[in-house]
Every structure is written in C-alpha cells, then in structure tokens.
Structure 1
Amino acid sequence: MNTFANWKTLNWSEYGAELVGTAFNLLVGFSIITFNFGKGLPMEHLIPAVSPRLLINGLIFAGSGALFSISPLGKLSGSHLNPCLSLAFWMQGKMHKQDLIGYIFGQFLGAVLGTSLALALWGNYLISVNYCITLPGINYPLWYVFLAEVFMTFILVLSIFIFLSHHQLLRWTPLMVWLLVATMVWLGAPISGTSLNTARSMGPAFVAWSWQNQWLYCIASPLGALTAVGVFQLIAMGEREVLTGKLFHVPNYRCIFKNVKVPHLQKHQ
C-alpha cells in the first residue's frame, strides 16, 4: 500500500506535459526537415541552396519548442523537452531524483511518439531523409563531431542557466533558446545534425531501428550539459544561482522544483 501511495504522489501531470511537449517539438521539427529536404517535395527546387533551408529548419524546429514553453503545459512542466537539460537542473539541485526519472522517461517516450506521428504523416518522404536521424557529417572525423556536440550543448545549457539566474532576463529565456538553437541548427547540422538532446536522437533511431554512431549523442550531449553546470558554478562563485527549473516561470502555476527563488504556487501533495 505504501508503494502504491508513493506511486500516486508522483508528478504525473508534469511528466505527461514533457511527453506531449517532446512529441510536439519533434513532430513539427521532423515535418519541416522532411518538407525542406524530402525527395520529390518542392523545396529542393524552390530553394536549391542548402543553407537557407537549414536556417528555416532551425527557426521552425526551435520555435516549436519555444512556443511550447509559453503554453499552459510548458508553464506547468518547465518545458525541458531534453534529458540533458533535466540532468543539468538536477545536478544544479533544482529537481528531485524521482522527477528527473519521470521527466527523462516522458521525454524519451515523447520522442518515439513524435517520430512515429511524423512517419504516419509523411511516410516515404520521412524515410527519404533517413527518419531525421542525427548522424555525423561525412566530411568530419568523429572526434570533431563529438566535440561539436559537447560544445553546442554546453553553450545551450550555460546560456539557459545564465538567463534563469537574472530576474531581468528570466522571462526572455524561451526567446533566447529559440534564436540560439536556430543558429546552431543552421551552422551545426552539416557537422553533427545538431542534436543537443539525447531523446531527439534516440526517438528516430528507435523507430528506424538504426543505431549507427548513436553512442555519440548518448555521451556528447550529456557531457556538454554537465560541463555547463560546472562552469556556471565556477563563474557564479556562489553569488548567483539558477532561480527556477522552468524555462518560462509564471507564479500562477504549481512548481515541483527545489530551491526556487521566484514566486510560485506550492507543490500539490
């Protein structure tokens, strides 16, 4: 009975929000990748150059995540949509261990669901872009791709922590993430596919059951996130701290995070 009671008190609404948000983000992102690069679709003729299409990919893919951040479900869960970011918040002392597990489970399940929905919608067009699997660029050695993923994830998480540690910047975090990730997709996709997110990589790999070089995204992105935690603590020198575990924090939504320094509703028990 105690086990059942503990099971019931877990924060299933937040975990479900992460599942839905990750599925939505990948469905939109994989749809724009397919529309821009799918064989037989018009964009390859309308915009022959690859670079502008990569920029469009980044703006819409990252924009869907930023849009979810300011939605009711995003305001509830904090809109991590990325196990590397949730891991970083946990390392920063903002999450309970059971919530970290719940978030990561929801994110991976959402990634599989989002990929499956994109496959149902686009069919062979999605297959023609290799299910949107992240893969190293053919002209780059693996060590370079690995370091690129570490560096980009490091910059993303460190930037989020910096914005979330300033009251004046707090509300602009989704906008910053949108522009930053869009730029990384634009510039980094030819190198590594710009994963930044282990769930984003594992979702299509699972649906396609294709695991070539996927170890890279299971190690490099979390390593970049953990490095960002360490660097933030070093530059903060105890004088600043991450104020919340949410990318868009509003006080009229409950908050399950620890050590929150901005107004919020108390966690419902």
Structure 2
Amino acid sequence: MAQTVADRTLSHLDHELVASLNDFHDPNQEWRRLFSELLGTFFLVLVAAGGGMMGQAFPGTISRAAAVVAPGLMVMAIILFMGKVSGAHLNPAVSIAFSVRGDFPWRRVPGYIVVQLIGATLAALFLHAVINVSASYGSNYPASGYSASDAFLMEAVLTLGLVSVILGTASGAQNIGIIGAIGVGAYIALAGLWGSPISGASMNPARTFGPNLIATDFTSYWVYVAGPLVGAVLAVGAAWVLRGAGGGRAGSGAAQGSLFTEVEHPEKG
C-alpha cells in the first residue's frame, strides 16, 4: 500500500514537472524572452555607459582599455546566463540580422527592440541618478576632428565583424555552443580597443540610445543607427556567401533560445 502511495506521488510530481516545462515552452510565454532582453541590455549598458560616466566622476580611475573591455566581458557573462532564454541579442542590429537570415521570426523583432531600448534607458537613468554626472559621458559621439561620416563607416565595419562572429558561431556545424560567448565577448573588447577613439565602438543602436535619451543629446545619433544596421546587413550577406541561407536548427536555437524555437531551415543542422 505504501509503495502504491509513493508511486502515485511520484507520478503526480512527474505530471506537474511536465506541465511546468510545457508552460515554459508555450509561445505565450514570450514575456520571458522580453524580460531576458530587457535585463541583459540593462546590464550591458550599465557597464558600457558606466565606464565613461565613472571615469568622469573619478578621473584617472578607469582607463580607455578597461572601459572598452568591460562590455565584452559583460556580454560574455550575459550570453552564458540567459542566452538559452532569449538568444541574448541585446542589440536591435543583431535581432534584425537574425531575422534577415531567417533564424528569428520577424513578428518578435518589434518587441525585442522596444525592450532593448527600455533596458538601455533604465541603465542610463540609474547611472545618472547614482553617479550624478551627465549621461552624455556614457554615450557615443564622433571624435573631435572626425566627421559623422567617418564614424558611420567605423560603426558599419565594426558591426560587420561583430554580427559575422555572432552568425558564424550560431550556424550549423560551426555552432560551438556556450563557447560562442567567448568569441562574441572577445570581439567586442578587441573592436573597442582599436575602434573606439573615432566612434566609440557602439555597434548597438540601443546602447547609444539610452544615454542619449537621459542626456537629451542626440547629436549624430543617426550614425549609431545607420552604421550598425548597414554592418548587420552586410554580415548577413557575408554569411550567405560562406554558409548559404539560414543558420539551420543550430542557428535558430541560438537566435531564439530554447523557448518554443521555430526552425525555418532545419535541414542545415
């Protein structure tokens, strides 16, 4: 009799666990993805904008190298802890690139972009409230002596490289799982080390939008929208030349996370 009760209890627990997993994978749980993107973008901008703002508040404490390497390390950590939930895009240009490539449903793009912008804004608002310096010190603007066109070209080329790394480590046989986080994080750090003096190496419209909004200074913001978008589209073209259309099952899984992944090109792996 005791064994029967135990079996029934285990059966009930198994049923609840399966139901819970089904709920988690239900497409109606899109809010989990959106919260993941909001939180991840918040932490990214907290570090990316925080370096410049903290450097202004405490002169000489944060070098340029530290300020540009920190976002790369943060992105690596974010991909590792929440990439399976939302894909850890953290960047409108990445969301659009995944969709152009066929790895991410277009209907999800507007929601992702909105929460990315909100997360970036909340981070800049937090930094401004705590550090008490203008959020403009944490934003990106073309360097003195360089035109907006120069900064645009830099942002486009840097984003071409970034999105190429993201698409490449999330495609078919080249999918390297969570180790892809190291590749993406390392690229962000390296791009910042050599590209930031001219444009700030944003590569992300949301990352620049948040501080600009809080500082109410959108000087040359078009550079940080057009540059990353052009670079992202070029990266999709390069990915097509290298691997063909779509990233396959692996690419879709990396782009969407593990919540109700939709595969447009399953035959690719």
Give your verdict on TM over 0.5: yes
1:233 to 218, 231, 240: 240
Distance 1:33 1:261, change over 3 A: farther
> Aligned equivalents of 1:150 and 1:112: distance in 2?
23
Distance 1:118 1:256, change over 3 A: farther
- Whether 2:134 is the aligned partner of 1:116: answer no
> Aligned equivalents of 1:78 and 1:259: distance in 2?
16
**By how many angstroms is 1:139 displaced?**
2.3
> Aligned equivalents of 1:81 and 1:133: distance in 2?
16
**By how many angstroms is 1:64 displaced?**
1.0
SS in structure 2 at match of 1:57: helix
User: 5 Å matches for 1:142-181?
Assistant: 142-165=148-171, 166-167=173-174, 169-181=176-188
**By how many angstroms is 1:131 displaced?**
3.7
| Map of 1:49 onto structure 2 | none
1:254 to 251, 259, 266: 259
| Map of 1:132 onto structure 2 | 138
Q: Provide Cα deviations, 1:83-138, integer angstroms capped at 9, x if missing partner.
A: 000000000111222211111111011111111111122112xx2x7241210011
| Map of 1:86 onto structure 2 | 95
Distance 1:32 1:141, change over 3 A: closer
Distance 1:195 1:168, change over 3 A: closer
Distance 1:89 1:70, change over 3 A: same
Say which structure is richer in helix. Answer: 2
Q: Provide Cα deviations, 1:19-41, integer angstroms capped at 9, x if missing partner.
A: 11101111122223333x21444
2:80 to 53, 67, 70: 70
Distance 1:238 1:114, change over 3 A: closer
**By how many angstroms is 1:247 displaced?**
5.0
**Identical positions, percent:** 25
| Map of 1:190 onto structure 2 | 197
| Map of 1:43 onto structure 2 | 61
SS in structure 1 at match of 2:169: helix
Task: Give the partner amino acid of 1:76.
Answer: V
